[in-house]
Amino acid sequence: MFYIPTSQVTKQTIKRCTRLLPACLLLGSLASLPLSSLGNSNNIQLPDLGDTSSGLISPAREYKLGQAWLRMFRSQVKTSSDPLLYEYTEQLLADLATHSQLKNQQLDLIIIPNPTINAFAVPGGVVGVNTGLFLYAEDEDQMASVLSHELAHLSQRHYARSLEASSNASIPTMAGILAGFILAATAGADAGMAAISATQAAALDQQLRFSRQNEQEADRIGLQTLIAAGRNPSAPAEMFERMLRETRYSSRPPEFLLTHPVTESRIADARNRANRLAEAPPAEHNYFYFMQARAKLLHAENANIAVQIFTSELEGESPNDMASRYGLALALTEAGRFDEAKAQLAYLTEMAPEENLFTIATAKLEAKMGDYDAAQYRLQQALKLSPDNHPLNTALAEVLMDAGRYSQSELVLTEHTKRRPNDEYLWYLLAEVRGLSGNILGLHQARAEYFILNGVYDKARKQIDNALKLAKSDYTIALLEQRKRDIDEMMDENDF
């Protein structure tokens, strides 16, 4: 399903394979093919997430399963740490969720730095997005159409319904499907798809029939969400058509189309639904183009090539001139062409003085030029207006860390992890600055939280043990002992 060439697969075996979830755990991948063998996937450790003999799964159980899957996914697949991409996508998801049929709108987002088109949903409110989706979508409504589709899978509880429908299917086969997904994410898409394609015809037919029903329902419900959010009802058809057009001459379709097969009839259905509806008045969602620029920079071969890409956009046709100029400023900064980057950012800041995007980019430039005082002051002034802002807090912590002001950085991060306790990157940074500032007890605590979020429970437990050796107060010892019990409970639940 994914191809993350830099990911590392943990060298542990699958335990209690016969009690794994069916393949439809990954709701965004309901058209995947059953396995008859696991191939190399038996090196991948997966959580024991339940069985098919206990009837429909409860929403509370779904949430626990989703959290377990999320931690395991992070342990094996590289995820993005870009706070600007996260904040944008979280806000877009939150807006769509308020117009969806989701009862529990608390969602966990993961962004995968991968140029292929893909998005998926996991029971319990986990939504995954490849950065490639930013590259292929032409506007925010097209991006929103994909996310609305995934939210529909969640709101209609397609996992629980698929679980019931597949109760008579081979459990080892279903375990193999899930293993194939993770294999595709870690060992490479070709290996994963080769494993997934080794299947029995009868099981394939049964799985695809139910998948088509889910996909059709997700298309319909997703469109309702899109319309309720005041967005373009033609966006789903436009996005499908763009995917097919962009990959028409490719030897292999993108991962999203492998798991969400698009046929001419499906596009026609989406187009017909849109034609029966009045189009919403066009709305400006320009922030999307700035995130698209960040994705382009991320996937450019190098900073100098990125400079050429954004320069060409400004000289020719650009989806948004300011976004192209922003991308150019970031690329120039990465290329070490600081004076040119400064000129571009000065222009952008003059146009929008209080835009945090430009504030952060300018502060990062100042830090690279060695003017840490100016960078710190700029970010602190912005935080007076938005004290809880995630990108601003993260940028300030990074600048302070680069400046060697470790204690100040620790204070910023300690406070911010209270706002975002499930952000693995913040705990990673906090562990680093606590180590550099000499707070060894705090270092072990932060490392433990980082390992917990990544599903590496043995290392998390070791960090707690190390922290207990240093703890002096009864309160701290009690907190650490409780966290140790939490880790043991997580390990027991996953049956490791």
Sheet (strand 108-112) strand order:
108-112, 126-130, 119-122
* Least confident segment among 58-72, 193-207, 351-365, 482-496: 193-207
In this prediction, residues 297-316 reach a mean pLDDT of 96
Report the predicted TM-score, pTM, of the whole model to 2 decimal places.
Answer: 0.80
20-70 pLDDT, tens digit per residue, is 333 333 434 333 322 233 233 334 343 433 443 344 567 777 788 788 888
Question: For residue 157, which of 2, 30, 19 has the smallest C-alpha distance?
Answer: 30
Question: For residue 480, which of 439, 449, 454 has the smallest C-alpha distance?
Answer: 449
Please count the CA atoms within 13 angstroms of the CA of 115 that sit on its side-chain side: 7
Strand, coil or helix: what is 111?
strand
Long-range contacts of 458-462 (CB under 8 A, 24+ apart): 460/487, 461/487, 461/488
Q: How confident is the model at residue 371 (pLDDT cuts 50, 70, 90)?
A: very high
Specify the DSSP class assigned to residue 454. Answer: T
Q: What is the pLDDT of residue 17?
A: 33
Helix (H) / strand (E) containing 121: strand 119-122
Q: For residue 158, count other CB atoms closer than 10 A to its CB.
A: 25
Q: What is the pLDDT of residue 237?
A: 84
Q: How confident is the model at residue 207 (pLDDT cuts 50, 70, 90)?
A: very low
Torsion of CA 251, 256, 257, 261, to 10 degrees: 160
pLDDT at 174 > cutoff 50: no
* Least confident segment among 253-262, 362-371, 472-481, 487-496: 253-262
Most confidently predicted of 94-108, 165-179, 191-205 = 94-108
In this prediction, residues 160-180 reach a mean pLDDT of 49
Q: What is the pLDDT of residue 266?
A: 65
Helix (H) / strand (E) containing 173: helix 171-186
Strand, coil or helix: what is 200?
coil
426-446 pLDDT, tens digit per residue, is 999 999 999 999 999 999 999
Q: How confident is the model at residue 177 (pLDDT cuts 50, 70, 90)?
A: very low
Chain mean pLDDT for the chain:
79
Strand, coil or helix: what is 20?
coil
In this prediction, residues 150-163 reach a mean pLDDT of 74
Q: Please, is 243 exposed, middle or buried when counting C-beta atoms within 10 Å of its C-beta (0-12, 13-18, 19+)?
A: buried
Question: For residue 470, which of 422, 438, 494 has the smallest C-alpha distance?
Answer: 438
Q: What is the pLDDT of residue 260?
A: 57
Q: What is the pLDDT of residue 131?
A: 95
Q: What is the pLDDT of residue 12?
A: 38
The two three-digit tokens of residue 83, written as one number: 């706070």
82-105 pLDDT, tens digit per residue, is 999 999 999 999 999 999 888 888
pLDDT at 301 > cutoff 50: yes
Distances (CA, A) of 18 to 14, 49, 164, 169, 494: 10, 10, 16, 12, 13
CA atoms of 361 and 97, how far apart (whole Å):
30
5: left (phi over 0), alpha (psi -120 to 50) or beta: alpha
Strand, coil or helix: what is 272?
helix
CA atoms of 186 and 360, how far apart (whole Å):
33
Q: What is the pLDDT of residue 4?
A: 28
Q: For residue 388, count other CB atoms closer than 10 A to its CB.
A: 11
Q: What is the pLDDT of residue 107?
A: 93
Q: What is the pLDDT of residue 396?
A: 98
Determine the residue type at 365: L
Burial state string for 36-55 with b = 16 or more CB within 10 A and e = fewer than 16: eebbebebbbbbbbbebeee
* Least confident segment among 2-16, 123-137, 453-467: 2-16
319-331 pLDDT, tens digit per residue, is 899 999 999 999 9
pLDDT at 130 > cutoff 60: yes
337-366 pLDDT, tens digit per residue, is 999 999 999 999 999 999 999 999 999 999
Q: How confident is the model at residue 76 (pLDDT cuts 50, 70, 90)?
A: confident
In this prediction, residues 474-489 reach a mean pLDDT of 95
Question: For residue 236, which of 220, 214, 252 has the smallest C-alpha distance?
Answer: 220
Specify the DSSP class assigned to residue 388. Answer: T
